[in-house]
Amino acid sequence: MQLGLIGLGKMGGFMRDRIKAAGHEVVGYDTNQDISDVKDLKELVSKLDAPRHVWVMVPAGKVTQSVIDELGTLLEPGDLVVDGGNSKFTDDAKHAEELSAKGIEFVDCGVSGGVWGLDNGYGLMAGGTKENIDRMMPIFDALRPEGPRDEGFVHAGDVGAGHYVKMVHNGIEYGMMQAYAEGYELLEAKEIVKDVPAAFKAWTRGTVVRSWLQELMAAALEKDPDLSDLSGFVNDSGEGRWTVQEAVEYGVPMPVISASLFQRFFSRQGENSPAMKAVAALRNGFGGHAVTKKGEKGIVTDH
């Protein structure tokens, strides 16, 4: 089938290749004209036969909103837009409503797989009506990994459900990464353990903790056994935050995923943490415990 694909960056570019490889026709647009098939969205729409299918793969938030807005003016009733970016599920309801007012259909689709997707295929989580999902199925089948469809694709529910499942997927990912990371740190600290990279690698087969993340961890440690090249400064990307906020909203206890998120926040503060300055001030206040002045090197006292 024919697909308009907006956004040909790290994710979108690989996706174009994979969809084409499956025999579909892709008209791609990117603000970088060197990689774009067309000069603007108007030309993109003009190159597609109605009813059109357009996949949006651009940064969530303002950029996605402006693309949706422009598509609303260019597309026709019966056309269908898929948002495959990292939009928040609350945006989906809004986008669906805005497009619906013009007779345009909407599907949201969370996409997992990162830079590995070109070769392995992408895990897909979609939300929308059954009819719209069915219309897009050839593209979903092109993008998802080999194997049974239900192992790499889900129609998760109504509009927004695709991004919601992807959001929770990322929240779980935060928790898993932190679990491996805590285990790594303890193993590194223990004198009798001599080969931590080999331990992570040995978990690849037969163990309960084997996973793709475990294999990535083993590979990273194989290249740089002490991770000595890296700083522990870690960013987050939105989905973890939304997951925790949703948990709070729904009264769902979420100690592990929230802790993983908070560790990332904390990792960016170091000795500038306002909270820990407050704890230092209190310790000094009641016990005369020595404080470390700003700029001094802290000394770990024997507990």
| Complex with its own copies: residue 54 or 125, whichever CB lies closer | 125
| Complex with its own copies: residue 23 or 147, whichever CB lies closer | 147
Minimum distance from residue 49 beta carbon to its own copies (Å): 30
Alpha carbon distance 51, 34 (integer Å): 28
Catalytic residue list contains 94: no
- Residue 192 CA to its chain's centroid (Å): 37
Alpha carbon distance 222, 112 (integer Å): 25
Minimum distance from residue 263 beta carbon to its own copies (Å): 6
- Residue 64 CA to its chain's centroid (Å): 15
Minimum distance from residue 34 beta carbon to its own copies (Å): 20
Beta-carbon contacts of 60 under 8 Å, excluding residues fewer than 6 positions away, are 85, 86, 87, 88, 91, 238
Catalytic residue list contains 166: yes
DSSP, residue by residue, 55-116: EE-S-TTHHHHHHHHHHHHH--TT-EEEE-S---HHHHHHHHHHHHTTT-EEEEEEEE-GGG
Minimum distance from residue 102 beta carbon to its own copies (Å): 23
Minimum distance from residue 264 beta carbon to its own copies (Å): 7
- Residue 206 CA to its chain's centroid (Å): 28
Alpha carbon distance 175, 41 (integer Å): 39
Catalytic site residue from 43, 70, 98, 173: 173
Alpha carbon distance 25, 35 (integer Å): 16
- Is residue 113 within 8 A of residue 123, CB to CB? The reply is yes
> SS3 for 118?
helix
Mind telling me the catalytic residues?
166, 173
